[in-house]
């Protein structure tokens, strides 16, 4: 993992994709303290040919003023602002992006969430991986250094549990992609029906990836992470996000019901029980040793993904890791209890297979 992430870009590869134009689709709703600084990093990308398509659903959204400020500050950057969206389904992100997608002029489309910040060479890194047989390039989700325990908890999760399953799935050929930062071939999306075809799903990223894979294209993971840097975060927000993601996975992939056994405490209990009955080893001693080995492995993995010194102490890591692992089963049970989710300004009832219907207040 450390050998793949944080690599320096290859000059040979850079020349291969130097003239590949990219249309960046940026869905925006509301503002947080980091929005303008995050968004500005896209205006300073070191890439020869790209456009920024800023998409805001509502005319009175404060994000409009942020966009106009940056458009005025960087008049030489090819950027446009689309306001109003176009309702084509229940997915608010797709509805918001539709005018920008229809106005995109390049063959590569980069859909990137509002909370992501990038380095000047991030787009070059993505296009370096868009080789002849690749149809989608994605970034491993991670979190920027921020202050507070809620930030530490989120960073520990995205450096331990999440990449463990994310990287394992991609290494074994399972298509596991999050839509935080995805570079895709527009003609392949158009063959699948364009963005409209995915407006019936809440987890549009999963179904876009599936459509690309079904057409014989490969995936590639960038060497730079998709760095989340939201200025608004709390333990409650983190928990709600995890429950929402789990609900989506349960409805899309029934095998998700086995997910709890992949978490440290439950897995250690099961393996400890098996070791006791097969080898007559002490169950609790085995449980503690297994948890300790898991804990150390997670710390090593986190430092590898970070690629730099952590902004919190080993004690902070230990506390955040223990709390995150303790929350896992509760998050799963909460997801099973209620099939509805709240996302952005809407509430939705999930259906088996990944489709959803909006719950309208009467």
Active site residues: 205
Structure token digits, residue 195: 């963005």
| Main-chain dihedrals φ then ψ at residue 231, nearest 5 degrees | -85, -5
**DSSP H helical ranges for the chain:** 11-16, 35-43, 63-73, 92-103, 122-128, 149-159, 161-171, 186-191, 204-214, 235-252, 264-279, 283-306, 314-337
H or E stretch covering 184: strand 181-185
Q: Are 160 and 321 in contact (CB under 8 A)?
A: yes
User: Please, what's the largest Cα pairwise distance for the chain?
Assistant: 72
Question: CB within 8 A of 147, min separation 6: which ones?
Answer: none
**DSSP H helical ranges for 115-203:** 122-128, 149-159, 161-171, 186-191
SS3 87: coil
Give the burial string for 188-208 (b: 16+ CB within 10 Å, else e).
bbeebebbbbbbbbbbbbbbb
What is d(CA 245, CA 158) in angstroms, rounded to the nearest whole number?
A: 13
Structure token digits, residue 176: 């596991």
What is d(CA 95, CA 102) in angstroms, rounded to the nearest whole number?
A: 12
- DSSP assignment, residue 312? S
Nearest to 54 by CA among 65, 66, 43, 67: 67
Q: Are 141 and 161 in contact (CB under 8 A)?
A: no
Q: Are 300 and 321 in contact (CB under 8 A)?
A: no
């Amino acid at each position: 993992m450390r050998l793949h992430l944080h690599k320096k870009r290859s000059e040979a590869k850079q020349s291969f994709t130097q003239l590949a134009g990219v249309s960046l689709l940026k869905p925006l709703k509301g503002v947080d303290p980091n929005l303008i600084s995050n968004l500005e990093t896209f205006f300073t990308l070191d890439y020869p040919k790209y456009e920024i398509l800023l998409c805001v659903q509502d005319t009175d959204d404060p994000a409009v003023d942020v966009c106009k400020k940056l458009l005025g500050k960087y008049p030489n950057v090819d950027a446009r602002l689309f306001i109003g969206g176009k309702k084509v389904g229940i997915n608010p992100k797709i509805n918001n992006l539709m005018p920008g997608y229809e106005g995109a002029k390049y063959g590569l489309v980069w859909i990137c969430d509002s909370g992501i910040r990038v380095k000047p060479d991030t787009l070059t890194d993505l296009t370096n991986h868009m080789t002849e047989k690749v149809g989608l390039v994605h970034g491993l989700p991670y979190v920027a250094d921020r202050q507070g325990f809620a930030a530490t908890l989120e960073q520990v999760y995205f450096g331990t549990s999440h990449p463990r399953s994310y990287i394992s799935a991609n290494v074994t050929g399972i298509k596991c992609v999050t839509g935080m930062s995805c570079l895709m071939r527009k003609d392949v999306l158009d063959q699948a029906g364009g963005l409209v075809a995915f407006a019936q799903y809440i987890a549009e990223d999963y179904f876009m990836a599936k459509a690309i894979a079904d057409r014989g294209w490969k995936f590639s993971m960038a060497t730079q992470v998709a760095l989340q840097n939201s200025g608004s975060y709390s333990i409650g927000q983190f928990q709600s996000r995890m429950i929402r993601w789990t609900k989506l996975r349960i409805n899309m992939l029934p095998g998700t019901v086995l997910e709890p056994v992949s978490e440290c405490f439950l897995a250690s209990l099961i393996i400890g029980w098996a070791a006791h009955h097969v080898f007559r080893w002490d169950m609790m001693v085995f449980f503690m040793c297994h948890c300790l080995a898991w804990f150390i492995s997670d710390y090593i993995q986190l430092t590898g993904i970070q690629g730099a010194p952590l902004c919190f102490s080993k004690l902070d890591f230990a506390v955040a890791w223990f709390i995150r692992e303790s929350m896992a089963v509760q998050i799963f049970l909460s997801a099973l209890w209620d099939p509805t989710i709240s996302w952005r300004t809407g509430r939705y009832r999930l259906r088996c297979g990944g489709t959803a219907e909006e719950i309208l207040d009467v």
